[in-house]
Copies of this chain bind each other. A is one copy, B any other.
Amino acid sequence: MNNLGNATFENYVGSLTGYSEMAYQMSAHVLTLGYAIMLAALFYFILTIKTVAPKYRTSSVLSVVVMVSAFLLLLVQQQNWTGSLSFDPGSATYKLADSSDLFNNGYRYLNWLIDVPMLLFQILFVVTLTKSNFSSVRNQFWFSGAAMILTGYVGQYYEVTSPVTFFIWGTISTLFFVHILILMKRVIDEGKEGAPAQAQKYLGYIWVLFLVSWMLYPGAYLMPYLFSLSLEPALTETAVVGRHITYTIADVSSKVIYGILLTLTAQEMSKAEGYDYEKIETAL
């Protein structure tokens, strides 16, 4: 095996077999789709901010913050992909380019360092906690959110060179994730109490979406091993493309669709509290 140091498995594949036209392009396109959706959704969240009562607008502001940071970091992530590989006419594959950057998913991770605390914080501006303390839940969200990301970030450097280190960091990260899941379930259950029927329905969707979309991240982290089902990472382009697709689906669901569902929930709550957006906009 080539010596690429602590490089991710994307680089080892790029150095050993290279990528077929289809695998390379699919990855480039999916990564581009990811940041394009973030920029498009940014406009949605700005333009719909007044459809909810003022006290719910912080949720839209936080969606905007998430969209901007995700847009930029996913843009750089895509450029990192196309910049680290170049077409080799001899083998008709994309190989690791000479004297350039290697590919690393770390841009995503450091994006989550902003987004995860913001996404968890965001729902607290839509639901009303009936039993839990706002500051306590917020601080636990922030602590476990940041700890989950940072431990996963360190772990990913070892995905090829040291599977044991990789799994240990992954396990620590997962413990923080479980804590977040427990907290989120409690927040949503409390939020449903006293909410209008339609808002309760949306909060139910948010829980399912949260559970499924956040579960995709550990799946993507483990991708090289999910494809090998052994203690040797699968150095195949299918696992690489699978990871790009999984991360993109996860990012779009956990940030964009989640934010839209929160806006819809807040709209129902605003209406139930007498905030009439249509009337305000048509008043003379």
Contacts and interface: CB of A to CB of B under 8 A. Distances in A.
Contacts of A30: 110
Interface string A85-121: 0111100110001111110101101110110000000
A252 to B, nearest CB: 10
B68 A107 contact: no
Contact of A89 (B66, B86, B98, B111): B98
Contacts of A68: 36, 39-40, 42-43
A181 interface: no
A214 interface: no
A142 to B, nearest CB: 13
Nearest to A4: B92
Contacts of A283: 284
A20 interface: yes
A186 interface: no
Interface stretch (A21-29, A132-140, A168-176, A205-213): A21-29
A222 interface: no
Contacts of A55: 278
Interface string A1-37: 0111111000000000000111001101110110111
Contacts of A183: none
Interface in A269-284: 275, 277-284
A206 to B, nearest CB: 19
Q: How many monomers of this chain does the complex have?
A: 2
Contacts of A60: 47
Nearest to A58: B48
Contacts of A114: 33, 36-37, 40
Contact of A54 (B20, B65, B277): B277
A244 to B, nearest CB: 12
A126 interface: no
Contacts of A92: 3-5
B110 A33 contact: yes
A76 interface: yes
B278 A69 contact: no
Q: Which 4 pairs across A and B sit closest by C-beta, in order of nearness?
A: A5-B92, A40-B68, A5-B21, A29-B106
25 contacts: A2-B89, A3-B92, A5-B21, A5-B22, A5-B92, A21-B157, A26-B106, A29-B109, A32-B76, A35-B72, A36-B68, A36-B72, A36-B73, A42-B68, A44-B64, A46-B47, A47-B49, A48-B61, A50-B281, A54-B277, A54-B282, A87-B101, A279-B284, A280-B284, A283-B284
